[in-house]
Chains A and B, each alone.
Chain A
Amino acid sequence: MTYNKPIPPQGQHTKPFWDGAREGRLMLPRCTNCNRVHWYPRLICPTCHSMDIEWIEASGEGHIHTYAVQHRAFGGWGEEVPYVTAYIDLKEGDRMMTVLRGVDPMRPEDIKIGARVRVEFEAASEDTHIPFWRLAED
């Protein structure tokens, strides 16, 4: 089935992320001066303002920071309501947005902030594989 939801255009400065995603690897930018990972990707470290940024392969592990259940959506997402959106605290630092998998949107109280999640990738197109996060098995 063709992917029917919004596919991000790939920015000029985010190529290593999308290249990694196509190989199933989660790539994150890290400042070589202060060693902090930041998200979203930047040309300059938002903490120490060094422009020496490298890309590292992340563990693909994280925790739920917060979430919500979307009951109103449009386009391809409209066919999937309700679904759970979430922000994920990355093991390496900073935070990503996602649609959370492996949770029951009709039982939102059962979803736990702090629960462990793992990244997986979905091929939205040949070029663009999108990371999503799934509740980890205990």
Chain B
Amino acid sequence: MAAKLKNAAAIVGAAESNEIGYPEERGPKVTSLQHHIEAIRNVSDQTGIPISDIDGIFSAGWSSQLAEYLGLKPHYIDTTSVGGCSFQMHVHHALAAIHAGIIDVALVSHGQAGWSYRGAGGRRGNTAPGEIDPGIEMSMAYGAFGAPSSYAHAMVRHMHNFGTTAEDFAHISVVTRQWATLNPRALMYSTETNPFGGPITVQDVMEARLIAWPLTLYHCCLVTDHGGAVIVARPEIARSLRTNPVWIAGAGESMGHANMLEMEDFTATSASRSSATAYEMAGMGPGDMEMAMIYDSFTITAAITAEMLGLAPRGKGYTLWKEGHAAPGGRLPINTNGGGLSFNHSGMYGMQLLVEAYRQLSGTAEDGVNGVEGKQTDARTCVVNGTGGTLSTTGTLVLTADG
């Protein structure tokens, strides 16, 4: 297999930051970020490749911040950070991504003030004491606590642009709870599993405690424990196993920003781009999708994502739930496990999306997990979209049932 990658890509330039070694003996200390930016500017000048042509970004822990800082919207984001060999791996991953036709120009970047800030920690190594991402420096004074405080701004802007209301979004909570009442593993399955479990109404959602207006508690996902894993294998192996394969027909990724401060349109995410890539790869479109697994950290996340995936017109994402299409028995089941809103949400919910999509398309949802029954739909295709950060990054998969 690996031989297919031979000569599939080349390194076309290599440069360094301006002041390496012991820069502080000649002038001010240089930050790790500055080393990155100078080296990137220099390799762009050397090769004549504009920074704006970079469509894949690789670094040891810096990738989304670097992309945001450079104003890039890459289609491949790899921030593998496993020590000093990370960069050899980045080249390997870039080779595979270029071979696969996902990207044309990969940037592999490194910046580390190992001397200037020797002894300093930080998750990306040697950041200056007290130094944080400038986007955080310029927003941390303003009383935002956790995801709801940020996502509420997107909902208000959606209401302004499209005339939507908090009641419209409340239907997403209500319908998603209907799915949870069919899934005994869902935290909100019933009042037996949780005092607040069982069916809810729009009025319940509207009258729940305010977290960040216009988000009440029931517009927000749960916070729970969860673990999950999937195995991906090539077709010969997939066909030889006792499990039913679910095929990865399409995949795409993109990002808008790292910090909400840089969100251009508060009513849109990069899922429009990540899904376009995935649909094109699959040779299918939103009209071909028979169910959807959509990250629902908040009702607004699900509504916007439905729009970005082309499942509903702009401004009308909520209608899929309000009109019952996304509900049990509807034409487009969405979040059949009960969603992050009512099933489980561990903080990074994307794995839960994958597990449920596999169960539905492999026809094993009724078999359940760990002996517990689920709710089987008859869907043969599913679009899966994860959203990360504060409506920041997206990954889309188009999955199909076998046969």
Contacts and interface: CB of A to CB of B under 8 A. Distances in A.
Interface in A1-25: 5-14
Interface in A32-60: 39-44, 46-47, 49, 51
A5 B141 CA distance: 7
B5 interface: no
Nearest to B36: A43
A66 B145 contact: no
**Interface residue tally of chain A, by bracket?**
35 or more
Given A66-B266, A80-B143, A40 B134 contact: yes
A8 B157 CA distance: 27
Contacts of A70: 143-145, 149, 212
Contacts of A108: 213-214
Contacts of B331: none
B157 A65 contact: yes
Interface string B134-147: 11111111111100
Most buried by B among A7, A72, A99: A72
B153 A68 contact: yes
Interface string B27-63: 0110101100110110010000011100000000000
**Interface residue tally of chain B, by bracket?**
35 or more
Nearest to A130: B141
B372 interface: no
B142 A42 contact: no
Most buried by B among A7, A68, A87, A124: A68
B391 to A, nearest CB: 12
Nearest to B137: A8
Interface in B207-242: 209-215
Contact of B266 (A7, A10, A65, A99): A65
B160 A113 contact: yes
A71 interface: yes
Interface string A86-129: 11000000011111000001001000010000000000100000
A96 B141 contact: no
B292 interface: no
B256 interface: no
Given A11-B132, A39-B261, A68-B152, A44 B70 contact: yes
Nearest to A46: B71
B143 A85 contact: yes
Contacts of B211: 71-72
B143 A68 contact: no
Given A12-B29, A66-B160, A71-B210, A85 B134 contact: no
B261 A95 contact: yes
Contacts of B261: 39-40, 87, 95-97
Contact of A67 (B131, B156, B209, B210): B156
Contact of A13 (B31, B40, B142): B31
A135 B304 CA distance: 29
Interface in B281-307: none
Nearest to A69: B213
Given A11-B131, A40-B135, A83 B157 contact: no
Interface of B: 28-29, 31, 33-34, 37-38, 40-41, 44, 50-52, 69-71, 128, 130-132, 134-145, 148-149, 152-157, 160, 209-215, 259-262, 266
Given A47-B71, A82-B213, A108-B214, 11 more contacts: A11-B131, A13-B34, A42-B37, A49-B71, A67-B153, A68-B156, A69-B213, A71-B209, A82-B210, A87-B153, A97-B138
23 contacts: A7-B141, A8-B132, A9-B137, A10-B130, A14-B134, A40-B134, A43-B37, A44-B40, A46-B69, A46-B70, A49-B41, A49-B44, A49-B52, A49-B70, A66-B156, A68-B156, A68-B212, A68-B215, A69-B212, A71-B211, A72-B211, A77-B143, A108-B214
Q: Shortest 4 CB-CB distances between A and B: which pairs? A: A46-B71, A68-B152, A9-B130, A69-B213
